[in-house]
């Protein structure tokens, strides 16, 4: 029997990530090729015409799984009945703006969209925040949608995770699918800690530690980490636009693994509400290694953390604590 359609909200859908993401969702990349979807697309009034153009293209592409499209500038209409919400819309930093100015714009957006989701989304709606500052936007959304379970509110660090896999694969000249269990700890920012201490490579002789195969601590402690931390900036420099296809693809990976589960023996990185695991302060949205099963994520416990890693976990937590304080100061 055909499955009931799942309603997926994409905010900022007229933007460049939105343009890459909605066809992926309509093709089944996010929820599976047997899962019909109804797309809800939200943008702001100045982008209404462009949003309508995206809707026309979705109709023209005749995606068999796409059972309906809602394209609107009304947050209530956009949020009504959605099972999954991918929050890509936000206010970008413009020339001359201070960090606090950008934060205050985004805090206002995420506060009001939290209320719309809380009142109108389906029960148990899963939320993924992509728009920057992703971790802190997700935290504000959580604060202002208290009836949405905190486990349902996450942010995207899967792009950073995938970037780390990509760097190891290029370095070793091996298929990226043979590398697994890297970790992104912390913030989706340049303080994030891309960690390969527990990563493995599938070889003809079984699973081997990436650290042992790379056998170059200088690269692992230096260029590898900075390349992943700075990759977003490198893409902006090259494209004069921020990453879009990789962000959209990683957003699909995040939701797919969350809903359908991670493969046995594999973890992924997700920005989730900290419960104090690994002595990360509780009450931050922080990226951890997680496994997913039955639509639920669980932080991987018990990984040994060496002194160097400890410092890096704490540094990115400090930045998130500061961002949280800044965000709260914008609320008053």
- Give Cα separations from 43 to 50, 105, 255 (angstroms): 9, 15, 21
Token pair for residue 308? Answer: 């160097």
Judge contact between 125 and 114, C-beta under 8 A: no
Least distance to ligand NAD from the beta carbon of 239, Å? 10
Q: Give CA–CA dist 218/225, Å, rounded.
A: 10
Q: Kindly state the DSSP code that residue 154 receives in the 8-state scheme.
A: E
Q: Which stretch binds ligand NAD (CB under 6 A): 42-50, 164-172, 203-211, 296-304?
A: 42-50
> Using the rule CB under 6 A, is 122 a contact of ligand LMR?
no
Q: Which of residues 51-90 bind ligand NAD (CB under 6 A)?
A: 88-90
3-state helix, strand, coil in the chain (%, to 5): 45, 20, 35
- DSSP E strands in the chain: the ranges are 6-11, 37-42, 66-72, 84-87, 126-129, 153-155, 179-180, 183-185, 193-195, 200-203, 206-209, 268-273, 285-293, 296-299
**Closer residue to ligand LMR (CB): 1 or 238:** 238
Q: Does 300 bind ligand NAD (CB under 6 A)?
A: no
Q: Is 235 in the site for ligand LMR (CB under 6 A)?
A: yes
The number of residues that bind ligand NAD (CB under 6 A) is 28
Q: What is the DSSP letter of 175?
A: -
C-beta of 16 vs 202, nearer to ligand LMR: 16
C-beta separation of 20 from 98 below 8 A: no
Phi then psi for residue 179, to 5 deg, are -105, 135
Q: Which of 8, 10, 14, 138 binds ligand NAD (CB under 6 A)?
A: 14
Task: Sketch the per residue contact string, 135 through 164, with ligand LMR: x for CB under 6 A, - otherwise.
Answer: ------------------------x-----
Task: Tell me the three state secondary structure of residue 190.
Answer: coil
- Nearest residue to the partner ligand LMR, using Cβ: 232
Whether 188 is a known active-site residue: answer yes
Q: Check 40, 120, 161, 188 and give the catalytic one.
A: 188
**Binding characters for ligand NAD, 228-257, by CB under 6 A (x = yes):** --------------xxx--x----------
Residues that constitute the known binding site: 12-18, 43, 93, 99, 106, 130-132, 163
Q: Tell me the C-alpha distance between 216 and 153, whole Å.
A: 38
Q: Which residues are annotated as a binding site for substrate?
A: 93, 99, 132, 163
Chain residues in the site for ligand LMR (CB under 6 A): 132, 159, 232, 235, 242-243
Residues classed as catalytic:
188
Chain residues in the site for ligand NAD (CB under 6 A): 11-12, 14-18, 42-44, 47, 88-92, 109, 130-132, 134, 156, 159, 188, 242-244, 247
């Amino acid at each position: 029997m055909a499955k009931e359609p799942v309603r997926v909200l994409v905010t900022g859908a007229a933007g460049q990530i939105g343009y890459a993401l909605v066809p992926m969702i309509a093709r089944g990349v996010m929820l599976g090729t047997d899962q019909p979807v109804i797309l809800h697309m939200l943008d702001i009034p100045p982008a209404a015409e462009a949003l309508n153009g995206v809707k026309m293209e979705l109709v023209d592409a005749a995606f068999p799984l796409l059972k309906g499209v809602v394209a609107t500038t009304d947050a209530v209409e956009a949020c009504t009945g959605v099972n999954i919400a991918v929050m890509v819309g936000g206010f970008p930093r413009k020339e001359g703006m201070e960090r606090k100015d950008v934060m205050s714009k985004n805090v206002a957006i995420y506060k009001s969209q939290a209320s719309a989701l809380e009142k109108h989304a389906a029960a148990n709606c899963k939320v993924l925040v992509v728009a920057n500052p992703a971790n802190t936007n997700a935290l504000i959304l959580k604060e202002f949608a208290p009836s949405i379970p905190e486990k349902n509110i996450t942010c995207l660090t899967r792009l950073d995770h995938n970037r780390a896999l990509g760097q190891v694969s290029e370095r070793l000249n091996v298929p990226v699918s043979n590398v697994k269990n890297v970790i992104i700890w912390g913030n989706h920012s340049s303080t994030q800690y891309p960690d390969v201490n527990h990563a493995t490579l599938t070889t003809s002789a079984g699973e081997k530690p990436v650290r042992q195969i790379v056998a170059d601590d200088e690269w692992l402690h230096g260029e590898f980490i900075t390349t992943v931390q700075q990759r977003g900036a490198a893409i902006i420099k090259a494209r004069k636009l921020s990453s879009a296809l990789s962000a959209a693809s990683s957003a699909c990976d995040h939701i797919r693994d969350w809903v359908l589960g991670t493969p046995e023996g594999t973890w992924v990185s997700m920005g989730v509400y900290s419960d104090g695991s690994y002595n990360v302060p509780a009450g931050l949205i922080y990226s951890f290694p997680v496994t997913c099963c039955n639509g639920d994520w669980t932080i991987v416990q018990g990984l040994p953390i060496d002194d160097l890693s400890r410092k890096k976990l704490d540094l990115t937590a400090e930045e998130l604590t500061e961002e949280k304080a800044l965000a709260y100061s914008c609320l008053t």
